[in-house]
Chains A and B, each alone.
Chain A
Amino acid sequence: MATVSVQVPTLLRKLTGGQDRVEVSGTTVGQSIDNLERTHPGLKYKLCDDTGNLRRFINIYVNQDDIRFLNDLDTPLNDGDELVIIPAIAGG
């Protein structure tokens, strides 16, 4: 089980008690989100839809790599990894 830090965007900080950075354990990105939900209820709903997939307008990076181009929520984590949650900037 890896311990990683999570950089939380401003719009989600009310769910982390105002903290912009929290620590969580998890072997994958998905598991870390589940564990974040235990300590910060409501966070998973903001990040994932009812099917458990990442919401369309949320992006997660692991050490500056977009998980969409890795293994999505199954992207494995290592001790000391940094997760960054960034809103999607999209339209058309």
Chain B
Amino acid sequence: MSALTLERLQPLIPEMIQWVNAGYPNEACGMILEKAGALSVLCCENLQDRLHRLDSERYPRTAATAYSLEPLLLYQATQNGAEVRAIFHSHPERGAYLSDEDVLGALGGDPSGEPLLPGTDYIVLSARMDGVDDVKLFSWDPAVRQFVGRC
């Protein structure tokens, strides 16, 4: 599989932006799948508000500042032979960066752990009232044990 780059992602960015704009002012999320060499976008429900209503102690944040991608979609995608190349989500009015919470989630809750989804990158879109103004791609660098931004 060739590396995921913002150049390879360019044709998919409009669809991600449309989903993010539709979700604003909440965080939107989804996956970039690859099957037979072709990349595609899978826009996913953000479960965060449902989880917050279910148990606000365990899930104190709402979808305004958090995302929880429907896990079954990840399972179904891989069962259908797709590779999950990236997880994307938006930050409303906060900028395109990987937050501490994003990194913790990517490491399965263990700050000193390994990525929960080895080989999967993370895309963050900066969502503003008048649209998306930045898109950044992050990959795990095992040499420094951090997610680093890539162009």
- Identify the A interface with B (CB < 8 A): 7, 10-11, 55-57, 59, 61, 64, 66, 68-69, 84, 86-92
Contacts and interface: CB of A to CB of B under 8 A. Distances in A.
B51 A89 contact: no
A92 B75 contact: no
Q: Which of B29, B66, B67, B109 has the most CB of A within 10 A?
A: B109
B58 interface: yes
A76 B66 CA distance: 30
A92 B61 CA distance: 9
A86 B101 contact: no
Interface in B46-92: 48, 50-51, 54-55, 58, 61, 65-69, 71-72, 74-75, 87, 89
B109 A57 contact: yes
A91 B72 contact: no
Question: Which A-B residue pairs are the 4 nearest by beta carbons?
Answer: A92-B66, A91-B102, A91-B105, A89-B69
Contact of A90 (B55, B69, B72, B114): B69
A92 B48 CA distance: 10
Interface residues of B, number: 33
B108 interface: yes
Given A57-B105, A87-B116, A91-B102, A69 B54 contact: yes
21 contacts: A10-B118, A11-B114, A55-B109, A56-B58, A57-B116, A59-B71, A61-B75, A64-B72, A66-B71, A68-B51, A68-B54, A87-B71, A87-B108, A89-B71, A90-B67, A90-B68, A91-B89, A91-B99, A91-B103, A91-B106, A92-B65
A92 to B, nearest CB: 3
Contacts of A10: 118
B20 to A, nearest CB: 14
